[in-house]
Amino acid sequence: MLELIKGAWHWSISGLLISLVMLLLIKSGKRFGVSSSFKTICAIGGAGKKIDYFDYNWRSHYWLLIFILGSIIGGTIGSTLLANSNPVKISPQTVTSLKSLGINAPMNIEEGRGFLPEEIFSFSNLFSMNGFIIIILGGFLIGFGTRWAGGCTSGHAISGLSNLQLPSLVAVVGFFIGGLLSTHLILPLLF
């Protein structure tokens, strides 16, 4: 049973489970989004005393905090007790494309913790110009974009689209365009 849990699951299983969760949330009248929990955390911390945006009844969103706590616990269990030592399956074309930029796709945990390329995601790379741009500037832009777009990629793509919200469709199209531009124009300039 443990091997089944540790192995890669077919995408349709995750899709069905996400659909089930979204149907339950829609039926209960709740909105899903991880970035919404940051708003709740700021409200709990008293940010509403200085900024009107955070001045609301956060107690009605306590379930988001339970979700975040569950995500942290689940991520910890998944990355330690249920860690899979097999490399993430990515297309050979992607591996070739990354190698042309000088980025090696890790084939085991020792080559890249969590199978993330060390050329991009490492503390030693953080203090290089490329690392600064990707990790620090990229993180700032993601945070800014999340607030400006009214939610993160998951929130818009899963929750917003399942609620048939036109702004979420526009946001998701923008995310894909931004991802394609970053992959094909910005990443080659950095590496």
Task: Please state the domain count of the chain.
Answer: 1
Residue 73 covered by a domain = yes
At residue 73 the predicted structure's pLDDT band, cuts being 50, 70 and 90, is very high
pLDDT of residue 95: 84
Q: 25 CB contacts (<8 Å, ≥6 apart)?
A: 31, 32, 159
Q: What is the pLDDT of residues 31-44, one digit of tens each?
A: 777 777 778 888 88
Residue 63 covered by a domain = yes
At residue 150 the predicted structure's pLDDT band, cuts being 50, 70 and 90, is confident
Residue 98 covered by a domain = no
Q: What is the pLDDT of residues 127-139, one digit of tens each?
A: 888 888 888 888 8
Residue 179 covered by a domain = no
Residue 45 covered by a domain = yes
Q: What is the spatial distance between Cα 36 and Cα 150, in angstroms, rounded to a whole number?
A: 9
Residue 29 covered by a domain = yes
Residue 173 covered by a domain = no
Residue 63 lies in domain = 1-83
